[in-house]
Chains A and B, each alone.
Chain A
Amino acid sequence: MTFYEKVLHGIEFGTSLGAEYTELRYVQTVMESYRIRNGDIISAGSTESEGIGIRTLMEGGMAFVSTASLAKGEIEQAVQTAVRLARSTRRRSPLVLSKEQIVQTNWEVPVEIPFPEITSDTKLQRLLEVERELTSVFDSGALPIRSAMIVTETSKKFLATSEGTQIESDYSLGRFTGMITAKGAKGSEQRFFSRGATAGWEWFAAPQFIETFIDEAKAVHRVAELAEQVTFEKPVDVIIGPEVAGIIAHENCGHPSEADRIQGREGANAGESFWMDIDIGKTRVGSPAVTIIDNPTIPKSGGYYLYDDEGVKARPRYLIKEGIANEIFHDRQTAGRIGVLSNGSSRATGFDREPIPRMANTYFAAGDYSVEELVEEIKFGVFIDNFTEWNIDDRRYQSKYTGSLARIIRNGEVTDEYVRRPVLELTSRGLFESVDACAKGFVADQAICGKSDPGQGIAVWTAGPEAVRMRKIRLGGVQQ
């Protein structure tokens, strides 16, 4: 029996037990990673997982069971357990899944050089090039801690449902992270960054891999060398770079627009949402300059997919359209609950996790301006390129972003006056209402979006145009 046949047998078996809905998702994943610190390898290895995640709906109750055993008997036992557990929930309000189109298809990430074709030595040597380049540019005293990591991931998936959907996919994701501690005249600064793409080894082989580390190291070292504490007595205009815009799009807009949070399902873990209190499609949550999109279908993107883990076709979601809260992330469960269709947001991080509404690639839509045009209208302000610390409350309303690379704007020009750790401590509404213009372009960072318990850290891009301008921001948080 092939794994396809076993999955389909499991579906039939669930139906024979009376399940209202049965879904089996076979996933085989290989992840490999290498990490160096100051040129020494500190970890290397691979994790391979293979198994089937099963969901059943029975008497209005839902269960999820996973098995790493692909033996026919074990799969039957797992399906049987799922039916029993679903029934034991004894729900008063039966769960309903949205009625979606039945799909039989396949999709894949286009790859030029598959990761398995590259030896561990080649991967490691590429990583060690980072160290060689960094130490050729900087004294070791300037960057006392330099850590770099490569992670590769490939997976094969086969999803089948008792409604007839069958989707096969092949996936490949590469990402790297850097962690740099820089020392300068003004003290120590730390910088963490990450980039990624759905691609093969060709993406690591490109020059941007090394260039990113060098650029990041230069920036954080300049901050450690030059940044001064500045107290801003009055509100100032602020321009944020794509990294800051991306995290804001993700945290202040993406998370609150997840339907499971809005419906309370993440209440004890990732929390709920201030979007519970608004009228989606009508309520203004930002200025007309703010449009935030989540689009899983961007080729090579870090959050790329074409069909979600419930078999629903992926498409762009306009979360905020010209300042109005417009659309929320649905899976079939959250959509079924309010009688709408899913928008293909359901994802799981492995065979042993249930699919739930997730972001993919979330970003401010680009505007018509150049960065220079945004800057030239500012007499005095701050350009915050990237950030260090951030957090937000569990209703996604009270956020904080501490700038890392930040410079004063004076008389329409970005100066070489570096500002030490400027703080944007703003409500989501206060933040989005202050935006008056977005630049052109699209720049993305790779991130891991955390949610649920057990945790499901999923690959996403946080992105934005080259700059977003915010007017009259009181920096520094309120502190008396």
Chain B
Amino acid sequence: MTKLEDTLSLVNQALKLASVHGEVIVRGQDVLRHQIRISNSEIDIFKQWKSKTLAIFVAIKGRIGTTEVLNPTSKNIRTRVNQLVSFVRGLQPTPLFKGLQKEFKSPSEVKQLYDKRIRDFPEQAPGMVEAALGAAQKAGAKRTAGTLFFDETQTHLATSEGFSGDYRESSYRMTLRSFIDPESSGQGIAVGRALDNVEGQLSRAGQESGEIASLAEGGKQGKPGKYDLVLHPTVAASILGALVKGANPLSILMGMSPLKDRIGQQLGPEMVTIWDDGAIQNGLGSAPFDFEGTPTQRTPIFQNGTLQKLVHNASTGRIMKTTSTGNCQLVPFYLGSKIVRPGPTNLVFKGGSQSFDELLESSRPTIYVTSNWYLRYTSYIEGTFSTIPRDGMFLIEKGEIGQPIQKLRITDNLLRMLENIDGLGREVQQIRWWEVLTPTFIPFLRIKDVPMTAATQ
């Protein structure tokens, strides 16, 4: 890691050069990231990424553009700022930019954002991975594949409007997938920022993956039809998270969200309350402030089933006659450029009143789905989609996990699934993996009358 004052100096250089021309945000980030990849119960590769990046956003008379400077030096900062300013001047004004955040409150206090023990983690990680693989094996796994990431990041942000702030963060995330045979598998996830009992967390993920895989052995072709589904938090985060991420003015504008103009409408049952929370303890999407320097906050998206609010940055807040919710982000927009827009931080579902066993209690045909992938839409604007369960999937028989089944597809509509939630678990778990990019705190869910389809030949 570079010294904080070195990053600060580079950020200020860029800010000084660019702010002569217009409104500017400069974010300096030092990242030290590691990954261990595993397959066939062995480490395939150990990776390290070390990067220092300046991200620069410039707005000149309503024209906007972004660039990034890798490995910044005084010389290349000057060159890239000049290139960016010239590039932006050649564009046309965009109606989506209404100025940066002008007023600043104190940054949010985020507990457990940084754990200095992350520095020693590269030496300890291979041993902890072995322990997790051992836990999977003990639970029945014949072989295990997985990825473990662990990061340390230092961020300094400054804007032409007078904001300056910095923070350090650490995080880890692991996905382990155990196999009994090619068609009988289970997955476990461990996610966090603080390294308290990290070895235990990784081993717990290993154990869960092994247990699900063992239960999945001997799976049969599932029978298509309508079922009540009990969704593992991993699946609930993928499907319901896809809907909640649509509470975003840009997604709505692009026709990528079924939430459209539904603010104030009761779209789900009373038990459903969902926040975007950029300051939640241990959240992988948490930070003290957003890309404009606005403090992060807890924003109610759904309150007792009613769509309450969209997330905003300063510009979309002004357009929709409200204020920023501390959700300004610089994110890739397909390819080649990044866009400054509102985006989700951590999605947080309020826990319900039921235990896992209580969610399974039903006389209706019910399936328990432990993992899924490949969620795709026929129509974003309608929310019509399908996704494919993977890993263990089970029929629920007399309130207990029964016959493992395979090869069914969830084919439904996001709004209908929200409306059909009829059970919420008590315990909330943070999910972040390959298929769930927005950290999501979510319990087990029960959803009624979900169409499950299968291949015809």
Contact = CB atoms under 8 A, between A and B. Distances in A.
Interface stretch (A133-141, A270-278, A373-381): A270-278
A208 B156 CA distance: 46
Contacts of B384: 389
A89 B126 contact: yes
A126 interface: no
B42 A268 contact: no
Interface in A371-428: 388-395, 397-400, 402, 421, 425-427
B75 interface: no
Contact of A480 (B87, B145, B223): B223
A99 to B, nearest CB: 20
B39 A264 contact: yes
A85 interface: yes
Chain B CB within 10 A, most for which of A86, A89, A144, A267: A267
B40 A425 contact: no
Contact of A400 (B88, B96, B382, B409): B409
B388 A152 contact: no
A64 B45 contact: yes
B376 A390 contact: yes
Contacts of A46: 67, 83-84, 87, 336-337
A394 B390 contact: yes
B411 interface: yes
Interface in B199-244: 223-226
B456 A474 contact: yes
Contact of A124 (B36, B42, B91, B387): B91
Contact of B43 (A35, A61, A65, A457): A61
A35 B455 contact: no
A119 B387 CA distance: 42
A51 B70 contact: yes
Contact of A268 (B45, B80, B146): B146
A65 B48 contact: yes
Nearest to B453: A477
A69 interface: yes
Interface string A21-43: 00000000001111101001111
A46 B36 CA distance: 31
A48 B182 contact: no
Contact of A391 (B42, B126, B187, B374): B374
Nearest to B379: A190
B177 interface: yes
A90 interface: yes
B258 to A, nearest CB: 11
B455 A426 contact: yes
A325 interface: no
B381 interface: yes
A82 B375 CA distance: 36
Contact of B255 (A145, A153, A457): A145
Contacts of B254: 37, 145, 147, 179
Contacts of A48: 67-70, 80
A168 interface: no
Contacts of B143: 264
Given A388-B378, A427-B455, A268 B49 contact: no
Interface in A432-480: 434, 448, 453-454, 457, 473-480
Interface residues of B, number: 94
B87 A391 contact: no
Chain B CB within 10 A, most for which of A34, A47, A147, A454: A47
A176 B370 CA distance: 38
A177 interface: yes
Given A188-B382, A268-B145, A47 B67 contact: yes
Nearest to B457: A430
Contacts of A34: 337
Contacts of B46: 61-64, 85-86, 88-89
A35 B39 contact: no
B220 to A, nearest CB: 14
B253 interface: yes
B454 A121 contact: no
A45 interface: yes
A282 interface: no
A463 to B, nearest CB: 20
Contact of B336 (A124, A151, A453): A151
B49 A66 contact: yes
Interface in B333-378: 333-339, 373-378
A433 to B, nearest CB: 8
Contact of B39 (A82, A263, A478): A263
A168 B250 CA distance: 41
B117 interface: no
Interface in A173-212: 175, 177, 179, 181, 188-190
Interface in A337-395: 352, 354, 388-395
A441 B255 CA distance: 35
Interface residues of A, number: 102
A393 B333 contact: no
A44 B453 contact: no
A78 B32 CA distance: 12
B147 A389 contact: no
Contacts of A66: 48-51
B379 A265 contact: no
Nearest to B250: A42
B47 A392 contact: no
Nearest to B389: A393
A69 to B, nearest CB: 5
Contacts of B335: 31, 33, 151, 153, 175, 448, 457
A196 B141 CA distance: 44
A229 interface: no
A177 B382 CA distance: 21
Contacts of B250: 42
Contacts of B50: 65-68, 78
B298 interface: no
A231 interface: no
B379 A388 contact: yes
Interface in A150-165: 151-153
A479 B376 contact: no
B378 A398 contact: no
B248 interface: no
A152 B409 CA distance: 37
Given A264-B145, A268-B146, A354-B45, A69 B71 contact: yes
A70 interface: yes
Nearest to A47: B68
Interface string A255-299: 000000001111111011000110000000000000000000000
Chain A CB within 10 A, most for which of B42, B64, B225, B456: B456
B373 A394 contact: yes
Given A89-B43, A152-B336, A393-B407, A473 B457 contact: yes
B65 interface: yes
A132 interface: no
A402 B377 CA distance: 10
B385 A389 contact: yes
Contacts of B457: 426-427, 430, 434, 473-474
A49 interface: yes
B91 A391 contact: no
Given A70-B71, A179-B254, A398 B409 contact: yes
A35 B334 contact: yes
B386 interface: yes
Interface in B439-457: 451-457
Contacts of B176: 268
A64 B36 CA distance: 10
23 contacts: A33-B334, A44-B337, A45-B67, A46-B83, A47-B67, A61-B43, A64-B46, A68-B53, A82-B48, A91-B43, A151-B334, A151-B335, A175-B335, A188-B381, A267-B179, A268-B146, A388-B379, A391-B387, A426-B455, A430-B455, A430-B456, A477-B224, A477-B455
Given A43-B333, A478-B453, 9 more contacts: A42-B250, A63-B45, A64-B48, A65-B47, A68-B70, A89-B43, A124-B92, A151-B335, A175-B335
